[in-house]
Chain A
Amino acid sequence: MTDVSSSGANPSGHPAMQAFEQVLEKRDSRVAEFDVAPKSPLQRVQHFLHANPTAVPAIVLVLGIIGFSLIVGGRFLSSFNLSLIIQQVTIIGIIGIAQTLIVITAGIDLSVGAIMVLCSVVMGKLAVTLGVPAPLAFMMGIMVGGGCGAINGVLVTRLRLPPFIVTLGTWSIFFALNLWYSASETIRSQDVAKAAPFLQFLGTPVDVFGARFTYGSFFLLGLIALVWYVLNRTAFGRHLYAVGDDPAAAELSGIRTRKVLFTVYVAAGVICALGAWALIGRIGSVSPQAGQTANLDSITAVVIGGASLFGGRGSIIGTLIGALIVGVFRNGLALSGVDVLWQEFTVGILIIVAVALDQWIRKVSA
């Protein structure tokens, strides 16, 4: 510990020392040491959760899996069922990644589902109906996704409108465009398979140790690894958290907050377009009515995964776990023979508990 008073700044010898500060002579001379006061067990838990935000969702997921395997038995733990859960989670996982990025910046994106469906329709119609080569149609879909994100980004950063309102508006706009462009018609799975099998690529099944996965599941994992890397190992990722945490502080630190925000909305749009690819792979056909619940499901996954809607906190792994929790609970309850309405009921409780827990963890003190 450096003793500052020995380096010529001895306050006791200073003539201008204030009378009321004389008592400070007896203080210890360390300068602002980061010492740790003893904590109660509850505070320890709070600190642990604060330092490890994905701990709660991970515990809930493990408990859920154990619970349902006890209730439902072997059927739940069968490789068939587990791979089914993972396939069901793929779409929400991908859209959840996009949502996580937005939520970290203290925003929310209600248009993610609509962007995904619009992109899938663009890809399908171009490739199947208009005969554009499938990879080119795919690239056009990605560009439409990026464009939709750019519209959100411009409205949020230039017009400085609240993200909730912006994306509430663009949700309707993108969905209307989707109905217009598709003429509300579904492209059948057989037609897609014949004209553009590339679009169904992510639905290709692969057997791993007897469990059936699709390329989509691995695609999800790859995307998670990529976004995790960007968030945790690059300056852009750190800036994203800083912008969500305190935009004014980020700006003063030299971060161009509007550029970061704009980039994030575009990236979210592109990820939604990748979600569209996975969506076509999952359902085979291209339907303007598909993925209607993706919006709110993605927010559910993000929130249950421990991200904070106030910004600055959240992780990609958390979102994956959040999506898995929803998948496990829905599947487990269904296999238990419980009415569908109780699935919704349970998801609702999970959301509220997750947000309440976040509020408590945020109150952590030194």
Chain B
Amino acid sequence: MITNTVLTELKTMSKPAAPITPVLSARGLVKRYGRVTAMDRADFDLYPGEILAVIGDNGAGKSSLIKALSGALIPDEGEIRLDGEVTKFGSPMDAQRAGIETVHQSLALSPSLSIADNMFLGREIRRPGMLGSVFRMLDRPAMQKIARDKLSELGLMTVQSINQTVETLSGGQRQGVAVARAAAFGSRVVIMDEPTAALGVKESRRVLELILEVRSRGLPIVLISHNMPHVFEIADRIHIHRLGRRLCVINPKDYTMSDAVAFMTGAKAPAEDLAA
């Protein structure tokens, strides 16, 4: 598998060799809100098949960066590249169409709708032929089948419950549905914003396994998290954001959590060759 070789390469060097094109990258992103500069020439690189953690102190501009990459925010300056091609996202829909799926911290699920309805919310499948084109009839069996398959693939499924409403699920289960939705539709990148923040120890563990499972399918993942143990456990590389820009990218094997926190808060400067 290509992704595995890329992964090994990534693990052996902090900066990958030139031939590997990042799946998603950004150069010199700037976003100003009045006199506040949320992004100050921020760079970003996500390579195929990796889990890239993005960490940074509150107010470092992580969310602005992630919003820009997922189409929820339009940067004032800078460029975003998808597989090396310059792209512009005018809305979250643009990013979704490009294969970038985001699992928002709020999950963006509709509690009173069923699991299947939620997975297809905003991109429903209609019946073929007249029923679909004229009468706009939904193809519920097809959507239920795909939803069930996707959840089963991720080991999230007991078959009878696909029509259960999301409000009857626990926090971890809801996270599971949101991740499954992203994995089902994200053909290029899955972005996860604080996926374990609201969960207990046991459910966090399950969500981490889920993230690894998604990566093993070859999808690269951007993981935004405040939880250092989780970040160091599953990330292949760690992007440290500080004062509106990328400070450095470290390999979790070479550094300790205290190093990362020190970089992130400015208590310690990263070595010259790391600085991005």
Judging by beta carbons under 8 Å apart, are B136 and A235 in contact? yes
Within the complex, which residue of B113, B157, B161, B207 is in contact with A245, where a contact is CB–CB below 8 Å? Answer: B113
For A7, the closest partner residue in chain B by CB is B216
Residues of chain B lying within 8 A (CB to CB) of residue A20: 201
Given known A9-B213, A31-B206, contact A234–B109 (CB-CB < 8 A): no
- Partner among B121, B165, B203 whose Cβ is within 8 Å of the Cβ of A253: B121
B93, B121, B206, B229: the one within 8 Å of A242 (CB): B121
On whether the beta carbons of A32 and B173 are closer than 8 Å, the reply is yes
Nearest Cβ on chain B to A214's Cβ, whole angstroms: 28
Known: A27-B202, A32-B172, A34-B158. A241 touches B110 (CB 8 A): yes
Contact status A17-B156, CB under 8 Å: no
Chain B residues near A31: list those with CB within 8 A: 154-156, 176, 206, 209-210, 213
Select from chain A the residue with minimum beta-carbon distance to B215.
A9
- Is the C-beta of B92 less than 8 angstroms from some C-beta in chain A? yes
In the bound complex, CA of A50 to CA of B202 (Å):
28
Q: How large is the interface on B (under 10, 10 to 19, 20 to 34, 35 or more residues)?
A: 35 or more
> Which residue on chain A has the smallest CB distance to residue B112?
A312
B158 & A238 in contact (Cβ 8 Å cutoff): no
Whether A366 touches B170, Cβ cut-off 8 Å, given contacts A32-B156, A249-B108, A253-B122, is yes
CB of B28, distance to nearest CB on chain A (Å): 27
CA distance A236 to B104 in the complex (A): 23
Smallest CB-CB separation from A29: which chain B residue? B209
B220-240 residues with Cβ-Cβ distance < 8 A to A are 229, 232-233
Determine whether the beta carbon of A366 is less than 8 Å from that of B168.
Answer: yes
Chain A residues lying within 8 Å of B158, measured Cβ to Cβ, are 33-35
Interface residues of A in 209-263 (CB under 8 A from B): 233-236, 238-239, 241-242, 245-246, 248-250, 252-255
State in angstroms the CA–CA spacing of A31 and B156 once bound together. Answer: 6
Task: Count chain A residues whose beta carbon lies closer than 8 angstroms to a beta carbon of B.
Answer: 48
Closest Cβ of chain B: how far from A229's Cβ, in Å? Answer: 8
Q: A238 — nearest CB in chain B belongs to which residue?
A: B117
Say whether B138 faces chain A, with CB atoms less than 8 Å apart. yes
Q: Are B113 and A16 in contact (CB under 8 A)?
A: no
Give the residues in chain A near B156, CB-CB below 8 Å. 31-34
In the complex, what residues of B have CB within 8 A of residue A252's CB?
A: 92, 102, 104, 106, 108
Contacts A4-B209, A24-B201, A254-B96 given; does A17 touch B233 at CB 8 Å: yes
Interface assignment of B152: CB less than 8 Å from any CB of chain A: yes
Nearest Cβ distance between residue B119 and chain A, in whole angstroms?
10
Residues of A7-48 at the interface with B, using a CB-CB cut-off of 8 Å, are: 7-9, 11, 14, 16-18, 20-21, 24, 27, 30-35, 47
Secondary structure dominating the interface of A: loop
**Which residues on the A side are within 8 Å of B172 (C-beta)?**
32
- Decide if B205 touches A4 in the complex (CB within 8 Å): no
Q: A34-B158, A34-B161, A249-B108 are in contact. Are A233 and B173 (CB under 8 A)?
A: no
Q: A17-B233, A34-B161 are in contact. Are A2 and B152 (CB under 8 A)?
A: yes
> With A and B bound together, what is the CA distance between A21 and B213 in angstroms?
19
User: Pick the contact of A34 from B121, B154, B157, B207 — CB < 8 Å?
Assistant: B157
Judged by a CB distance under 8 angstroms, whether A172 is at the interface is no
Determine if B122 and A255 form an interchain contact, defined as CB atoms under 8 angstroms apart. yes
Which B residues touch A18, using CB under 8 A?
229, 233
Query: A322-366 vs B: 1/0 string, CB under 8 Å?
Result: 000000000000000000000000000000000000000000111
Query: Judging by beta carbons under 8 Å apart, are A34 and B205 in contact?
Result: no
B230 CB to closest chain A CB (Å) equals 9
Taking the complex as formed, is A5 at the interface, i.e. its CB lies under 8 A from any CB of chain B? Answer: yes
B19 CB to closest chain A CB, in angstroms?
Answer: 25
A245 to B167, CA, bound (A): 11
B122 contact set on A, CB distance < 8 A: 239, 250, 253-255
Q: Which 6 pairs across A and B sit closest by C-beta, in order of nearness?
A: A2-B155, A254-B122, A9-B212, A252-B108, A235-B124, A16-B233
- 14 additional contacts (CB under 8 A) given A234-B138, A254-B92: A1-B155, A9-B209, A18-B229, A31-B154, A32-B175, A32-B203, A34-B164, A34-B173, A234-B137, A246-B111, A249-B106, A312-B111, A364-B167, A366-B168
